Amino acid sequence: MSDLPDEFKCTITNWDYIYDLCREVSDDVKAAEFEPDVVVALARGGWFAGRVICDFLGLDDLTSLKMEHYVGTAQKSGEPTVRYPMPEGSVEGKDVLVMDDIADTGGSIRRAHEYVTDRDPGEVRTATLQLLGTSEFEPDFVGERLDEWAWIVYPWNFIEDMIDLTTGVMEKGADGPYTAEEIRGLLREYHRVERIEMEIAQPGRLSEVLEEMARRGIVETVGEGEVAWRLHEDAPSGP
């Protein structure tokens, strides 16, 4: 289970915002006159960023490294470890840019840097789209620095994160059932997710999240008239 407090801030992002952060990173790489031969994108969060960075830098050599750290939204599994290694020889003799979406503790990208460095590359540098002030590792290139800790909901795992967060706040609230507006209120209370912020970043998607939760057997609808939702008795716990 998460060791986070009951209440923590969540920030919801969209594709345009993340794309602009990719541009910021690539501009910094160019300004540093670093010309990597290959981008190593950390799975899963670094995949989108890694592919876009390749486009900005004119690279066609992209590989992936799977680190195991988070097992769910804001739930850590401990010290990051390599789950799926890179193909043999994929970075040997090459200058490498290791790319991830965010560094909060910095453990994942630090471990990835160590792993890549041990495989006879040329120069190895690191980059993240976002860097939290809690990170103990300083990447070479950063798209955005955030002083306040927050759980960032990225567009590529919006459904996954919002299901976990919604499950968690429904557990923390009263017995329910809850209307969609009441669920919005719980998300605001526990995670400071304002309706206007969510609608700007991911418009109209709370209903999609609830419908997917129903499809997966996490929630069920109750009553007549206005739709209300309650957790299924066998629903997994949220963060």
Domain residue extents for the chain: 10-151, 155-231
Identify the band that residue 1 occupies on the pLDDT scale cut at 50, 70 and 90.
very low
Identify the band that residue 5 occupies on the pLDDT scale cut at 50, 70 and 90.
low
Reference 52, options 72, 92, 78, 23; nearest CA is: 23
Beta bridge partners of 124: 96
Distance, in Å, from the CA atom of 133 to the CA atom of 64, rounded to the nearest integer, reads 26
* Residue in the structure block whose two tokens are 């306040």: 148
- The mean pLDDT value for 156-175 works out to 92
Q: Helix/strand/coil (H, E, C) string of 18-43?
A: HHHHHHHHHHHHHHCCCCCCEEEEEE
Architecture of the structural domain at 10-151 = 3-Layer(aba) Sandwich (3.40)
**pLDDT tens-digit profile of 180-227?**
999 999 999 999 999 999 999 999 999 999 999 999 999 999 877 678
pLDDT of the residue at 230: 93
**pLDDT tens-digit profile of 50-68?**
999 999 999 999 999 988 7
More confident residue, 153 or 81: 153
Would the CA dihedral through 175, 177, 180, 182 be positive or negative?
Answer: negative
Looking at the predicted structure, is the pLDDT value of residue 98 above 90?
yes
pLDDT of the residue at 235: 65
**Which tokens sit at 215?**
């499809």
Looking at the predicted structure, is the pLDDT value of residue 157 above 70?
yes
Looking at the predicted structure, is the pLDDT value of residue 106 above 70?
yes
**Angle 66-11-56 from CA coordinates, rounded to 5°:** 55
More confident residue, 7 or 160: 160
CATH of domain 155-231: 1.10.10.10
**Which tokens sit at 37?**
């031969």
